Homo-oligomer: A and B are copies of this chain.
Amino acid sequence: MGIFRYIMRDTWRLLSRHSGLSLLTIVTSVAVFFLVGASILFVLNTRYIVEAVEGDLTVQVYVRDSEEALEAVARKASSYDSVSSVRVVTSGEALERLKARLGKLAEAVALLDENPLPPSVEIQVKRASFATVIARELIAMPEVEEVVYAGTVAERLQSISYFVARLSMVVLVVSLASAALVLFNTIRIGVYARKEEISKMLLVGATRNFVVFPYVFQGVILGTVGAALAVLLLWFSYGMAITALERSLPFLRLLTDRSIVLRVGAVLVLAGVSVGWICSWLAASRFVRQASRSI
């Protein structure tokens, strides 16, 4: 217990007696964690947008003209988990839509004696990849005449979404790796500046732990404070970014709930604690080993 208090006191001394060094390290870790946090938020939003776009995907199922057939198909479609909404479109509605769509050509359609358009069931799927599956299953029903859906678009969306998922992993891995590397080096160079002291402490009978732990706690504090400040910065800049985006790109659906920053922030702070711990532990015990190697 006594020892622990001495170690905490030594941690405080390390921080305060080289406040310049501490400040530099904190600034570095703020920059690093801000970058990591920003890339995580970017990735989360991109994924969300892609998902939202995917959600707009419609499968149009043309059905033989009978009330029961329509209902059967609609019922079957509703039973899928991956379907988000099902709507029945009658022949009349379909004609109205066609007229609206043709615009200039509407008069051509008006020349028709009878309505040639079949009724259909409009299915909204949750994910581009489901469209193909559902289309294939519904075409097997005897009531169904034809299934139309944006094949290429669905495929493209699917591969884009797959790509975004992978990209987000790459961005995360690269930014986390660089972050850890940079922090590790910074902390290590900081310890390097004091390796003389480490060897002196060992010479007067300090145990390895007594020497190493103040550095470890110092690293944890610097990492955590850096991460926390980065989260603060992210909080404000995310707010501003979202506001700016909503003004200039109102059609994008973004993660506007700022609580997402807090969740990302929690991860960052945790990373700060562990990166700080690991890096300073590695750095300090390396110099301890070096210093206690007798020649």
Contacts and interface: CB of A to CB of B under 8 A. Distances in A.
Interface of A: 20-21, 24-25, 27-28, 31-32, 34-35, 38, 62, 98, 103-105, 107-109, 111-112, 116-118, 146, 148, 156, 159-160, 162-163, 166, 174-175, 177-178, 181-182, 185-186, 188-190, 192-193, 245, 248-249, 251
A35 B175 contact: yes
29 contacts: A20-B192, A21-B189, A24-B189, A25-B185, A27-B181, A28-B181, A28-B185, A31-B178, A31-B181, A34-B174, A35-B35, A35-B175, A35-B178, A98-B105, A104-B146, A105-B117, A107-B116, A108-B112, A108-B117, A111-B112, A111-B116, A159-B248, A160-B249, A163-B245, A182-B182, A182-B186, A185-B186, A186-B186, A193-B193
Contacts of A186: 28, 182, 185-186, 189
A163 B248 contact: yes
Given A20-B192, A249-B163, A38 B174 contact: yes
A159 B249 contact: yes
Contacts of A105: 98, 116-117
Classify the interface of chain A: helix, strand, loop or mixed: helix
A167 to B, nearest CB: 9
Given A38-B174, A103-B148, A182-B182, A24 B188 contact: yes
Contacts of A25: 185, 189
A202 to B, nearest CB: 19
A35 to B, nearest CB: 5
Nearest to A152: B251
Contacts of A175: 35
Nearest to A162: B248
Nearest to A106: B116
A118 to B, nearest CB: 7
Nearest to A148: B103
A178 B34 contact: yes
A156 B251 contact: yes
Nearest to A177: B31
A105 B105 CA distance: 14
Contact of A116 (B27, B108, B163): B108
A293 to B, nearest CB: 15
Contacts of A21: 189, 192
Nearest to A112: B108
Contacts of A32: 178, 182
A291 to B, nearest CB: 14
